[in-house]
Structure 1
């Protein structure tokens, strides 16, 4: 990776975290959780409307747009110390009804979003010799799901990329991990979603959806406290995958 052009991060400054998809749901909860631990937050989201210290509107599937957004955040807040990729979307469809465009879009947003953001943020962490990346995957990456082929494939690719990045940068002080939430109580799940149905919830050991704040606490732990962990996946799914 090319050397970063930004200044070094003085130890007296608050660490800067970039959160993609920080406008709502899990991403918004991550913004709150990391701020509670002293991070300054820059977000990249389609809307650009977040509670971050600096927010940039960009599509994470566009590598040039992500690079530009990270450069803007770096210029405003300082070099990047942590990255959390939570930008994404969910849709269900049988394989026969997944168009080539829908397939490509799903992959570009989820695994492409992680790839683009990591390429833009990692140089600062590698220069400093420390940092943390946490990707939001899904329990469907582990267990698959009916009518979820393109979503599960994209989230599964995230796990492969996380493990490969973890191996690549571990000896330079950077940790790369993932969380794999089950169905989470966010606007991504429609009111009539089968994941909200009582008969589905009864199949879960905890009998409920997880909350964005619960997922965010796991992200916070991986960023701030799990200095021993890299290449790992924390399952946050009310017992859906045990």
Structure 2
């Protein structure tokens, strides 16, 4: 039986493109979503991929959801932590709730999901985890102290878990997308978006499918010698 992949935040944007590509590549796939039932139902009908609703910032909810998925589909061998939110604002105006909500979902959700699946991966001696960070976690961004901090935190978390689990056959890597044509980026005012695109060497936004291909590469059985790495898919906006 093919491996089972779980993609959080998987019914729209980068998550949906990733789920589709993983399925097309022969993996069995399930996804999570936060609560947009209309988008989730549309995704189910279009792809045939099961979609489950829960809050990734709630550890107990993650435990219950993964327990159900394992019972219905088998063990999770591939995890893509894509779920995330934004709540932008300049630091001097940012409320604590705006800060905490982004940290809890984007970084806390990544920890929660890794924590829930890691024991099973260790027992089986195999696992692939890919955490979807952001170019803004690498560079910082005006008005995104919360988001940049959470996405930068994901990079440190990725390296720490990669070191802990390398001997167990589990790889843990990050993909750092640049600005990509998703609903989240579509909400950016056009004058600001024009300025962002002007700083991208390839001169355009990325496509969700381009990010998905990076994930597919990292979750392959053959990618076992790559761990603790961050793959930047940003049109050259950030170069190490």
- Tell me the residue number matched to 2:14: 26
What secondary structure does 1:180 align onto? strand
Q: Which has the higher helix share?
A: 2
- Tell me the residue number matched to 1:96: 92
Residue of 44, 51, 62 corresponding to 1:66: 62
- Tell me the residue number matched to 2:189: 193
- Tell me the residue number matched to 1:167: 163
- RMSD, matched Cα: 1.5
> What do residues 65-97 of structure 1 show as CA deviations (whole Å, max 9, x unaligned)?
111111111111101111001001223210011
What secondary structure does 1:18 align onto? strand
Unaligned runs of 5+ in 1: 1-12
Q: Distance in 2 between matches of 1:53 and 1:123?
A: 25
- Tell me the residue number matched to 1:10: none
Q: Distance in 2 between matches of 1:222 and 1:144?
A: 25
Alpha-carbon offset, residue 190 of structure 1 = 2.9
- Tell me, yes or no, if the aligned pair for 1:194 and 1:200 is still in contact at 8 Å: no
After TM superposition, the score normalised by the length of structure 1 is 0.91
Q: Distance in 2 between matches of 1:180 and 1:60?
A: 20
Residue of 30, 41, 45 corresponding to 1:42: 30
Compared with structure 1, are the counterparts of its residues 65 and 146 closer, same or farther at alpha carbon in structure 2 (3 Å cutoff)? Answer: same
Q: Distance in 2 between matches of 1:235 and 1:63?
A: 29
What secondary structure does 1:133 align onto? strand
- Tell me the residue number matched to 1:132: 128
After TM superposition, the score normalised by the length of structure 2 is 0.91
- Tell me, yes or no, if the aligned pair for 1:195 and 1:201 is still in contact at 8 Å: no
Q: Distance in 2 between matches of 1:195 and 1:181?
A: 21
- Tell me the residue number matched to 1:152: 148
> What do residues 180-224 of structure 1 show as CA deviations (whole Å, max 9, x unaligned)?
011110001135435863333122110001111000000010001
Number of residue pairs the alignment of both structures matches: 230
Q: How does 1:202-221 map to 2 (within 5 A)?
A: 202-221=198-217
- Tell me the residue number matched to 2:51: 55
Are 1:234 and 2:231 counterparts? yes
